[in-house]
């Protein structure tokens, strides 16, 4: 049996859940789930961590009252009409219920030896492992998904202005606004969509255009803009378009 899961999870995972809609229930004492998580079961660990993040006291209450967790496989349509692959329309989910709370986990069968049992243990979406995974997904999407590349944009077109995030700059604390007129080579860029709100701390004006072109400190940007710059850098993208900083 795969040593990354406990015996109960191993037996449950091996059931023929892909052909069953709303079947294959399994009930386990909370104490058993907690014990398996402590001894290294990846699935039980994921379940415990998720429930703790949603309702920190729920597991303690359920454990104290000898409650059970209910595990159930189900299959439902998932996806959108632009995706033709049947795999994107039917996904298998694991529903876990403890007391009044139910959590659903989206599941895939993995058969490749190097990938089987692999998981992203880091729950921080801003961590380096998380960005490494995201960059891999983005690369696969752009290279392998035909429908993701069906865009009606003239080849080489870019917005009139882009923010250079300083991906390879010796001054990582600064970003610069660049005019794209005359650019001969298309560039890869990301765009940030955000709510302006009642107060806009910084936006592009004729009066500050010169300042932004020569560079502004990253710390002078709103936190959402700082996060966007950090994200595109971690994804290996040099340019960023933010409407309030790129349009006069």
**pLDDT by residue (tens digit) across 159-199?**
999 999 988 777 889 999 999 998 878 788 999 988 777 77
Provide Rg for the chain, Cα atoms: 24
- How much is the pLDDT for 41? 92
How would you class 29 by CB atoms within 10 Å of its CB: exposed for 0-12, middle for 13-18, buried for 19 or more?
A: middle
The answer to whether the CB of 110 falls within 8 A of the CB of 104 is no
The answer to whether the CB of 93 falls within 8 A of the CB of 18 is no
Separation of alpha carbons 223 and 182, rounded Å: 32
Separation of alpha carbons 11 and 30, rounded Å: 18
Against a cut of 0.95, is the pTM above it?
no
**pLDDT by residue (tens digit) across 222-241?**
999 999 999 999 888 999 99
CA 197 centroid distance within chain: 25
Indicate if the pLDDT at residue 92 is higher than 80.
Answer: no
């Amino acid at each position: 049996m795969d040593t990354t899961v406990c015996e109960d999870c191993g037996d449950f995972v091996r059931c023929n859940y892909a052909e069953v809609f709303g079947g294959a229930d399994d009930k386990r004492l909370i104490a058993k789930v907690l014990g398996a998580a402590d001894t290294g079961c990846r699935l039980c660990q994921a379940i415990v961590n998720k429930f703790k993040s949603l309702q920190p006291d729920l597991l303690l209450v359920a454990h104290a009252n000898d409650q059970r967790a209910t595990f159930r496989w189900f299959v439902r349509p998932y996806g959108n009409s632009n995706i033709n692959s049947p795999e994107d329309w039917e996904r298998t989910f694991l529903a876990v219920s403890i007391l009044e709370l139910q959590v659903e986990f989206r599941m895939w069968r993995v058969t490749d030896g190097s990938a089987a049992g692999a998981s992203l243990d880091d729950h921080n979406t801003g961590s380096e492992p998380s960005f490494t995974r995201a960059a891999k997904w983005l690369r696969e999407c752009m290279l392998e998904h035909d429908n993701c590349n069906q865009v009606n944009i003239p080849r080489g077109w870019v917005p009139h202005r882009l923010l250079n995030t300083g991906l390879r700059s010796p001054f990582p604390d600064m970003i610069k606004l660049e005019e794209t007129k005359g650019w001969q080579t298309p560039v890869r860029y990301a765009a940030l969509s955000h709510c302006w709100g009642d107060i806009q701390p910084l936006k592009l004006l004729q009066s500050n255009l010169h300042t932004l072109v020569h560079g502004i400190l990253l710390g002078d940007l709103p936190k959402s803009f700082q996060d966007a710059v950090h994200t595109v850098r971690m994804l290996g993208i040099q340019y960023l378009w933010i409407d309030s900083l790129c349009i006069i």
